[in-house]
Structure 1
Amino acid sequence: MLTVCLGNYCRSPFAALALARRGGDDVQVRSARLIGKWQDQPANPSMIKAAGRLGYDLSTHRAQQITLEMLDWADTVLTMNAAVLETLRTICTEDNAQKLGLYLGDRDVPDPMGQGGDVFNDCAVLIETGTALHIGRLP
């Protein structure tokens, strides 16, 4: 599974972490970005804090650019919003296009960038809850 957002700085790295925890050893998840200035940079400090409140350690994340190899690797590509989904549709192969979808199915995960800690916390809860759409319910 591959999660993608604009910068790989807030939403997609946390989504990858949450999906990996929920899926356990049976699920491999990576995250990537379309554009941005955070290549090889850690996640946003506010998202690291929000993740920590939910028991996740996002401190080792480093942002990375999406590649065609990543798209080929993934069985499912989950985007955080419709704009990222549309951009990916223009750059991927026909085979990879069939793998694409929105993380929340029919709506965007709002981008918390530039907002306060409460917005990051709400975003993290929304992302964690959204794992149920992709991996079975927690025991």
Structure 2
Amino acid sequence: MGNICRSPLAAAVLAQHGGAAVEVRSAGLAAKWVGRPADPPMIAVARAHGYDLTTHRACALSAALLQWADVILAMDHTVLTALRDRADEHTRPKLSLYLGDRDVPDPFGHPAEAFEKCVALIESGADHHVQPLGAAGRSATEHTR
């Protein structure tokens, strides 16, 4: 929602997983966090798993970003519903849940274990969106810009 936990982590995971052929952007629905860094516990857990969120600054979702994206991934059903309300007939088909039919619970305000679980869930879904670096076959950009 605020672009300080799940979405920045997913962007980092997908970008690292897909390499230079993948362009990933992260945005949130709640504008109150715009300009702020990722949540410190998320930065720490991400770092422990090899992802750098230190340069992330929260931004709000815009109509231009919805148009730009080839795929728009929501972390949970609540976010997906809000995205559907904002999307037009062109962008609505691009919407889906990151884990297909399951939510990635928001770890914000929860103990460290929730952040660890968040990383594990987001890493587990990466192959559904981008081809791993060095893998033969389809292009890393097949499912995302």
Would the TM-score normalized by the shorter structure come out above 0.5?
A: yes
1:19 matched to 2:14: yes
Once residues 131 and 7 of structure 2 are traced to their aligned partners in structure 1, the CA distance between those partners, rounded to angstroms, is 20
The residue type paired with residue 136 of structure 1 is Q
In structure 2, the partner of 1:127 is 122
Match of 2:34 in 1: 39
2:43 counterpart of 1:48 = yes
Query: Which residue identity lines up with residue 95 of structure 1 in the other structure?
Result: H
Aligned residues: 134
Aligned mates of 2:69, 2:84 — CA distance in 1: 15
1:104 and 2:99 equivalent? yes
The residue aligned with 2:5 is 10
Q: For structure 1, which segment, 115-124 or 68-77, has the greater mean C-alpha deviation from structure 2 after superposition?
A: 115-124
Amino acid at match of 1:126: L
Tell me if 1:88 matches 2:83. yes
Query: Which one-letter code corresponds to 1:83 in the other structure?
Result: T
Cα RMSD of the aligned pairs, angstroms, is 1.1
Match of 1:3 in 2: none
- 1:63 alignment partner in structure 2: 58
Q: Secondary structure at the match of 2:26?
A: strand
User: What amino acid is aligned across from residue 102 of structure 1 in structure 2?
Assistant: L
Residues 117 and 109 (structure 1), Cα distance of their counterparts in 2 relative to 1, 3 Å cut:
same
- Write the letter of the residue equivalent to 2:44: K
Give the drift of 1:137: 4.5
Give 5+ residue unaligned stretches, structure 1: 1-5
Structure 2 portions without partners, runs of 5+: 136-145
Identity %: 50
Higher Rg: 2
From 91, 111, 118, the counterpart of 2:113: 118
Runs of 4+ in 1 over 3 A off after TM superposition: none
Judging by fraction of residues, say which structure has more strand.
1
